[in-house]
Amino acid sequence: MKPVPVLASGGIGDGAGLARALEHGAQGVSLGTRFVASDEAWIHPAHKQRVVESTADDTVYNELYDVWWPGAPHRTLRNKTYDEWVAAGRPPPGKRPGEGTSIGRRRLVSGDVQDWPRYAVGIVPPNFEGDIEYVPMLAGESCSVVNDVKSAAVIVRDLVRDAEAALSGG
């Protein structure tokens, strides 16, 4: 049997995390949250800013956002939707606060405008119009080490530089 490359994923957002993964035998890593806060990410600017301002303690693992993707677990930043759901006693789908209402809208590539239902999961685009504090802001615990929004090229350059420094004891 041929060796299978192993990629580490989850909680990695900087060169130190990359170095730890490599030290534990991974051949590479997969990063999500770090690239949410990139210039190229087609994500609402307020979402990017919340990632930069947040720590792991601001994230919650849940299946709350199930419109468009039922039963999909995800990690999001705490927001009004989550806090109001918790305050209501974590009711099941069909009994949640504001369920069935639109919290905003987005323009699709086709030019059509689509309502964004409360509890819908998805990447919130820059053209979203509505209260951003009600939409899911997907983010992992690595947001603790994401301190700025910068280009993907600079993110990769910094990851490699910092991992090399960590691996060489620098």
Residue 89's pLDDT band (cuts 50, 70, 90): very high
Q: Is the dihedral of CA 111, 116, 120, 122 positive or negative?
A: positive
Residue 106 makes CB contacts below 8 A (sequence gap 6+) with 113, 114, 116, 124, 125, 127, 128, 129
Check whether 170 has a pLDDT greater than 90. no
Q: What is the pLDDT of residue 129?
A: 96
pTM of the predicted model, to two decimals?
0.91
Q: For the chain, what percent of residues have pLDDT higher than 90?
A: 92
Q: What is the pLDDT of residue 18?
A: 98
Calculate the average pLDDT of the chain.
96
Residue 151 makes CB contacts below 8 A (sequence gap 6+) with 38, 39, 40
Strands 59-62 and 7-9: unpaired
**Crossing angle of the two packed helices 15-23 and 152-167, in degrees rounded to 10:** 50
Q: What is the residue whose two structure tokens read 């051949």?
A: 27
d(CA 144, CA 14): 10
Q: What is the pLDDT of residue 169?
A: 85
Q: Give the residues across from 157 on adjacent strands.
A: none
Q: What is the pLDDT of residue 151?
A: 99
